[in-house]
Structure 1
Amino acid sequence: MVKVASTFGRSGTHDFILLRASALILVFYAIFMVSFLVSTPQLTYEVWTALFSATWMKVFTMLALSGLLIHGWIGIWQVLTDYIKNSFGRGVLQFIVSLTLIVYWFIGLFVLWGV
């Protein structure tokens, strides 16, 4: 059986489930962040660092960044395979976007756990 190396999941069903799960994680993270920003009367550096120094927030943020990585990886693969027929151009674009997503994930890792 030939596996497609550029997909994140093992099959279309697995990709579908990963997309939906990562979307839910991103929605929960966005709702939390918006509600935090709205409910905080004065957002200062101390409040912001206190929020992100908590272990649960670091884990939640890394989960959201991982969800962004998975969602972006699968999404860009699906969009590019549907709309770009030139395999070289598709490969280059997919490489650039995938590399960018991985760099974002590692930057988030180093920034979060460096606090």
Structure 2
Amino acid sequence: MVKRIPVGARYGLRDWLAQRVTAVVMTIAIVILGLALIVCRPADFESWREFVFTGWVRILLFLTVLSLAWHAFIGARDILMDYIKIDWFRLLKVITTIVYLVVCVVWAAVILL
């Protein structure tokens, strides 16, 4: 019999549900943005800029970036927990992942908001 010891503050159903919710949010956002691009058809840089910096597009893009970061963190953390057995090295990798994703979200916020 294998004894499984869950480690981590949010182990199980909460992470599973968070990944599904973020995947649905990203899918809906990509479909909406794709349809908007088909309708608007920006041809040059100025029309692309005007499209991206429309209020609802900026909010939708930023929501997509937040969902992507959360989704990526959960997946990366689970992989690191499963495959890296040295505690200090796993902690270092998780912290590195968190810092990278926070920088990406802040960068997207600076650009979009």
Counterpart of 2:79 in structure 1 is 79
1:1-115 alignment, distance < 5 Å: 4=8, 10-34=10-34, 43-113=43-113
How far apart are the structure 2 equivalents of 1:58 and 1:39?
Answer: 17
How far apart are the structure 1 equivalents of 2:70 and 2:41?
Answer: 34
Answer yes or no: is the 8 Å Cα contact 1:29–1:61 preserved in 2. yes
Counterpart of 2:4 in structure 1 is none
Q: How many residues align?
A: 107
- Which has the higher Rg, Structure 1 or Structure 2? 2
What 5-or-longer segments of structure 1 have no aligned partner? none
- Alpha-carbon offset, residue 57 of structure 1: 0.7
How far apart are the structure 2 equivalents of 1:101 and 1:28?
Answer: 22
* Aligned residue identity for 2:77: W
TM-score (norm. length: structure 2): 0.79
* Aligned residue identity for 2:103: V
* Aligned residue identity for 1:112: L
Moved over 6 A (4+): none
Answer yes or no: is the 8 Å Cα contact 1:37–1:43 preserved in 2. no
Helix, strand or coil for the counterpart of 1:85? Answer: coil
* Aligned residue identity for 1:58: R
TM-score (norm. length: structure 1): 0.78
- Alpha-carbon offset, residue 97 of structure 1: 1.4
Would the alpha carbon gap of residues 57 and 42 (structure 1) be closer, same or farther in structure 2, given more than 3 Å must change?
Answer: closer
What 5-or-longer segments of structure 2 have no aligned partner? 1-6
Please give the root-mean-square deviation of Cα atoms over the aligned residues, in Å: 2.2
- Alpha-carbon offset, residue 35 of structure 1: 5.0
Q: Quote the sequence identity (%).
A: 21
How far apart are the structure 1 equivalents of 2:90 and 2:108?
Answer: 27
